[in-house]
Structure 1
């Protein structure tokens, strides 16, 4: 029976990455299930067992099959064959074409003249929204002043502080924490995802955004190893393959 690994990821993964996963884990027949926040960069149905997208976006469409080669067309055209009935009988040809001209003119005169399309009626102008008054006006004014104050403060802050390493680190940590919490909440709310994790031999958090979900899964499922990164997953699979000691 093949081992099963569940990969927790919040980044966009290419299809070739899963070949690298099998190589790093030392098992070309391992079953891979992915719980991703972002859709893969291309079609991966032939690379993994399942890929469950729990974040925004859509899964890539299946590539179109290769077109079949078209049949070769001969450059020589077949000889044309004229049917006997296609040739007009000389006796049926009208000698004087001017005789049918008056009849054609009468038919043209009998046709009704084309009617002009009706002109569209002018649309009424949209009614403008009434301006806020009273308490609403005060709230709008306060919100406008707050937005203006934030813009002014952002301009006054020196660029050296904005681009400093501590500020970048704090911004990155805040974004990662928010992503990690959202990812874990989505994992916890999906029954199909939790059922997939229950069947796994090892659960691997691949990036920083999946660490929070991995830690919570480790607290909830002590019987299933939950690790960070593929090297730690390789050690867990090596222990599963090792024969149990005596006693």
Structure 2
């Protein structure tokens, strides 16, 4: 990738939900910046494709099939980083799902699954990654603009992302003395498979849904690589005095 500086040279990074969308873009960027990358995804084939892309660019990567709402899988992802590459310095907790419905239309099972994937996974990955970060490190969690303000027909998603934003602050306080920074990146609507899944769940035509997503000062939805650049900044030493923050990357939508 043009403009890369090797800002993660010598670092080992984990990206959850790394098989597509923002996770894929970030994993590729991490690899281009010199990191050894563990791509964790419930879709093993997608994770493998991303690992192969990084390898084709001259980097090092390994794919791990994982449901990060399950503790044993989180343990396995961290072990893959340590055993394959010798340590862990960066964790990007990006895996997430969405259910577009209000409280009445959301089943208990749907609520529990959103919370498991979006919230419990962050807790579990941090629980097992922090002890492996023996030389300090950086954790970046994917929140959302809807973790900082409300949104319609997305009660479980809004609640889960608000939890991620405040859990990030608590983690930052708890682990600063160990040299571990913890921040959240909070995208607005971004052109990913999840955005198209939202349109499907709401039974909306993609063109109309896309136009609604573009209704913000910059007049368009974000691109995965634009969110990845923000994650890279927070993961790198360029953000050495930043912890506990919620960085909004949304083309002015929240403003």
TM-score (norm. length: structure 1): 0.35
| Larger relative contact order (Cα-Cα within 8 Å, sequence gap ≥ 6) | 1
TM-score (norm. length: structure 2): 0.35
| Greater fraction strand | 2
Structure whose alpha-carbon radius of gyration is higher? 1
